[in-house]
Amino acid sequence: MTGLEDLNQKVIIVVTFTGVLLLIWWYVKAQLAKTTDLGTRGHFRHIESKRLAHASVLSLFEVNNKKVLVLQAKQGASFIDITDTSGTGRNDHV
């Protein structure tokens, strides 16, 4: 009978340990979802990407109603805000 009691004790320990790990994982996942919720609160949208010479990529994104041009190269990335706020750009009413 002591073998059966040892087995029951080991099963209870494994189930408890697994439950604690699942609770910790769920808590960390919930905290990360709060801090990195860019897709719903930040209005982030990819518009277009083009591959250039020498493994560079030119991408156009819209972030919070601003257009951002991103140049990704081997040395790093550069960001430029190209939003036209002056009103002298395109005229869509013509």
- Which pLDDT score is estimated for 66? 86
Model-wide pTM > 0.75: no
pLDDT for 20 equals 95
The dihedrals phi and psi of 58, each to the nearest 5 degrees, come to: -110, 120
Q: Would you state the pLDDT for residue 90?
A: 54
3-state secondary structure of 30: helix
Confidence of residue 22 (pLDDT cuts 50, 70, 90): very high
The pLDDT value recorded for residue 1 is: 61
List of residues 6+ apart from 68 with CB closer than 8 A: 60, 61, 62, 79, 80, 81, 82
Indicate whether 86 pLDDT > 80: no
| Domain definitions of the chain by residue range | 1-36, 42-84
